[in-house]
A and B are shown apart, each in its own frame.
Chain A
Amino acid sequence: MHVDARTLPDGTQIEGDICIIGAGAAGISLAKEWGGRNEKIILLEGGGFSIDAAVQNLNHGENIGQNYFTLQSARLRFFGGTTGHWAGFCSTLDNIDFEKREWVPLSGWPFGLNELDPFYSRAHKILELGPYNYDVEFWKNNEKNYVELPLDENKLRTKMWQFSPPTRFGSVYRDDIVDSENVTLYSYANVCNIEANEAVNNIDSVQIKTHQGRNLEVSAKYYVLACGAIQAARLLLASNSRSDNGLGNDRDRVGRCFMEHPEVNTGYLALPSPFPMHLYLQTIFVTKQRGEITLTEENQKNEKLLNCSISLTPNRSNQEAEAWINIFPDEAQVTLELWQEIERQFEAGEIPHPDPTDHTEYLLFTRSEQQPNPASRVVLSREKDALGVPRANLNWQLTELDKRSIRKTYEILAQEVGRVGLGRVKLMDWLYEDDNEWPSILGGGWHHMGTTRMSTSPNDGVVDENCRVHGISNLFVAGSATFPTSGVANPTLTLVAMTLRLSDHLKTII
């Protein structure tokens, strides 16, 4: 069912079993899991079925740290959420990403990769991906043109990615949600406050406001924040009527350890003659899987580095001048239009498909793990949005380890490429400048993670291993906000897998 909250009378009370706040990849995946059951599911979405400037404006906030995309463009507040401008990159986290690494402060998940394995498999279907297999040998056996670069497999490996169509949740799953009898989607229902009981160990209700000035209230047995890592932290911090520090924040953990994947042009690979690169190249919307180059887990341990991945793009020279963040549109609407234009070009056959056997020069592009850093955080602004909620400011902070990990990974690649006589690698100057300085070309992937990080102890994080907020019995967080570490995999596949895991957990306790 679908109800436009703007049409409801002021003071409307809504009751249900599970209240899901946010209808993006996590919220819709969770709601779908409960479709056709007896429980009454309330799915609250701040926007409608298309971008609305007034609603999108609620995401405005200042970047007070590292240069970053404007916050109003980095997240889409409408049905389907940020999958509306998703590029479809999917990969699993690696074993090492779950481990406690003594050289990475605050690293370690409460469980390992095996725990997520069955949920990754289920998430594959939701994200319309190919076979759940990320073993490069599997893909080499299936694609005769796939040849790995002849690098020392003890040092470097090919990590596989798959590409979702990409699944635009807002269109692909709209009917599933709207036609469901036990799931009710409330659009234009912006949650402004989460009300806890006096002891602050249980949530009683959430308050909704509309731009028309109407106030609604939802009561449920369980509440799941599924609204992105910035908004989830913002809501917990701003819901401070019972506790000055906000909810789940007795130990000042909420909003901290915000992580992105530092993404940046880093170097070039030059070959004396073309090498068949079918395994490594991607044409957007065309390629279904590709490999990127990462250090082996053993080598990460030996060198005490973060995870870092290198992808290849043919024939792109002199990219140092390109300021990725600065050239991207400031407003979400323009971002969406850009994607729609790319999709149109694809459908019209206008997107060039590089011949993987025809190039001798490649741009090397980094997507790196970011060290969990308490100083990298979401904080509340003194300024309030149109609905009276303090805006969120982002203080994205990187560390010396972040930069050293990228530099060392590339140096190992350069050494290997030269050793085997494949060619030579050129590294950009910014890698060798001050380790606390980052170039203007540094960007991210719109990957917001870690602000309500998972931890066994409430001293180290916000949610427990079942994604329940420490100390609050019926409040959960779904999405990449719960990731203790980020790995190098784009987060969507993992956050959907984690949401399915949470869904199974809720089924055991409801």
Chain B
Amino acid sequence: MDRNTFLKNALYLIIAGITFPKWLLTLHIPFNSHKEEIRRLLSNLDSGFILNNMADEMGKEYLSMVKGEISGINLFTGSKGRQAIQKINLENGLPPLFMVQEEIKADFESNRLIRLRGWVLSETEAMLCAYYNLTT
């Protein structure tokens, strides 16, 4: 490997390293360690008694509904996400329960609602379900 090739490869690796987390989220492959954490968060919501057993299928339905929207963009910070979630930034880990509850209440007050498996849910709840579904 000559000096120029080495420098070129090193530059590619640096660029890939810098962009890796965003690139990972763009493809919607959340960290596995979040799965249990998300499940706990969903259980503790007011709607936990419904989401507990149905989060996965609701998330799947939501993702199928917004397929075009999330392709190539982040689930929570893309144009769809920005409408619903102002404060939640999953790159810093899951937000505290009260913050999610606030967002859900704000969704209901502003009629940012979506019907999944027949249930009328807030967009925040729907996206958390989608996030749960994506977390394998």
Interface residues of B in 20-58 (CB under 8 A from A): 46-50
Minimal beta-carbon separation of B9 from chain A (angstroms): 54
Is the Cβ of A418 less than 8 Å from the Cβ of B49? no
Contact at A424–B118, with CB atoms within 8 Å?
Answer: no
How far is A421 from B118 in the complex, measured between Cα atoms in Å?
A: 18
Q: Is A426's CB under 8 angstroms from B46's CB?
A: no
Q: Which residues of A contact B108 (CB under 8 A)?
A: 415, 418-419
Q: How far is the CB of B50 from chain A (nearest CB, A)?
A: 5
Q: Which of A272, A414, A429 contacts B120 (CB 8 A)?
A: A414
B50 touches A429 (CB 8 A): no
Residues of A within 8 A of B109 (CB): 419
Cβ-defined contact, A418 with B118, below 8 A:
no
Question: Given the complex, which residues of B lie within 8 Å of A423, measured CB to CB?
Answer: 46-47
The answer to whether A418 and B48 touch across the interface, beta carbons within 8 angstroms, is: no
Q: Interface residues of B, CB < 8 Å — how many?
A: 18
User: Does A270 belong to the interface (CB within 8 Å)?
Assistant: yes
Question: In this assembly, does B128 line the interface, its C-beta being within 8 Å of a C-beta of chain A?
Answer: no
Smallest CB–CB gap between A408 and chain B, Å? 11
**Does any Cβ of A come within 8 Å of B82's Cβ?**
no
With A415-B120, A428-B118 known as contacts, the answer to whether A270 contacts B49 (CB < 8 A) is: yes
In the complex, how many angstroms separate the beta carbon of A59 from the nearest chain B beta carbon? 39
Q: Let me know if A432 and B121 touch, CB within 8 A.
A: no
A418-B108, A426-B120 known; A272 and B49 CB under 8 Å? yes
Q: Tell me, in angstroms, the Cα distance from A429 to B116 when the chains sit together.
A: 11
When each residue 83-120 of chain B gets 1 if its CB lies under 8 Å from chain A and 0 otherwise, what string results? 00000000000000000000011001101010101111
Cα separation A414 to B119 with both chains bound (whole Å): 9
CB distance from A441 to the nearest CB of B (A): 15
Q: Give A409 Cβ to nearest chain B Cβ, in Å.
A: 13
Tell whether A424 pairs with B121 under 8 Å between CB atoms, given A270-B49, A272-B46, A415-B113. Answer: yes
A411 to B, closest residue via Cβ: B120
Specify the chain A residue showing the minimal Cβ separation from B112. Answer: A415
What residues of A have a CB within 8 angstroms of the CB of B121 in the complex?
A: 418, 424
| CB proximity to B under 8 Å, residues A395-424 | 411, 414-415, 418-419, 421, 423-424
Contact bitstring B58-76, A, C-beta under 8 A = 1, else 0: 0000000000000000000
> Is B122 part of the binding interface, using a Cβ–Cβ cutoff of 8 Å?
yes
Shortest distance between the CB of A186 and any CB in chain B (Å): 55
Residue picked from B47, B113, B118, B122, most chain A C-beta under 10 Å: B118
State how many residues of chain A have any CB contact under 8 Å with chain B. Answer: 18
Determine the chain A residues whose CB is within 8 A of the CB of B117 once the complex forms: 426
Shortest CB-to-CB span from B49 to chain A, Å, is: 5
**Among residues 24 to 59 in chain A, which have CB atoms less than 8 Å away from a CB atom of chain B?**
none
Question: A424: which B residues are within 8 A, CB to CB?
Answer: 47, 50, 119-121
> Min CB distance, A435 to chain B, in Å?
16
- Among residues of B, the one whose C-beta sits closest to the C-beta of A428 is B118
Instruction: Please give, as numbers and ranges, the residues of chain A lying within 8 Å of B49 by CB-CB distance.
Output: 270, 272, 360
What's the minimum C-beta distance from A460 to chain B, rounded to whole angstroms? Answer: 37
* B48 proximity list for chain A (CB < 8 A): 272
A200 at the interface (CB under 8 A from B): no
Which residues of B lie under 8 Å from residue A272 when comparing CB positions? Answer: 46, 48-49
Asked if A427 is at the interface (CB within 8 A of a chain B CB), the reply is yes
The verdict on A415 contacting B46 (CB below 8 Å), with A426-B118, A429-B118 known, is no
Is A425 an interface residue when CB atoms closer than 8 A count as contact? Answer: yes
In the complex, are the beta carbons of A432 and B115 less than 8 A apart?
yes
Hey, which chain A residues are within 8 Å of B119, CB to CB?
424-426
Contacts of A360 in B (CB 8 A): 49
Indicate if the CB atoms of A425 and B120 lie closer than 8 Å.
yes
Question: In whole angstroms, how far apart are the Cα atoms of A429 and B104 in the complex?
Answer: 24
Q: How far is the CA of A425 from the CA of B118 in the complex (A)?
A: 8
Among residues of A, the one whose C-beta sits closest to the C-beta of B106 is A419
Return the chain B residue nearest A320 by Cβ: B118
- Residue of B46, B104, B113 near A414 (CB, 8 A) is B113
Closest to A432 in B: B115
CA distance A423 to B117 in the complex (A): 16
Q: Which residues of B contact A425 (CB under 8 A)?
A: 119-120
The contact string, 1 if C-beta is below 8 Å from chain B, for chain A 157-193, is 0000000000000000000000000000000000000
Check A415/B115 contact, CB under 8 A, given A272-B49, A426-B120. no
Q: How far is the CA of A418 from the CA of B124 in the complex (A)?
A: 13
CB-based closest 5 A-B pairs: A414-B120, A419-B108, A418-B108, A426-B118, A272-B49
Q: Could you pull out 22 A-B pairs where Cβ atoms are within 8 angstroms?
A: A267-B118, A415-B108, A415-B111, A418-B47, A418-B108, A418-B113, A418-B120, A418-B121, A421-B46, A423-B46, A423-B47, A424-B50, A424-B119, A424-B120, A425-B120, A426-B117, A426-B118, A426-B119, A427-B115, A427-B118, A428-B118, A432-B115
Spell out A's residues near B (CB within 8 Å): 267, 270, 272, 360, 411, 414-415, 418-419, 421, 423-429, 432
16 more CB-based (< 8 A) A-B contacts, given A270-B49, A418-B121, A424-B119:
A270-B50, A272-B46, A272-B48, A272-B49, A418-B47, A418-B108, A418-B122, A421-B46, A424-B47, A424-B121, A426-B118, A426-B120, A427-B115, A427-B118, A427-B120, A428-B118
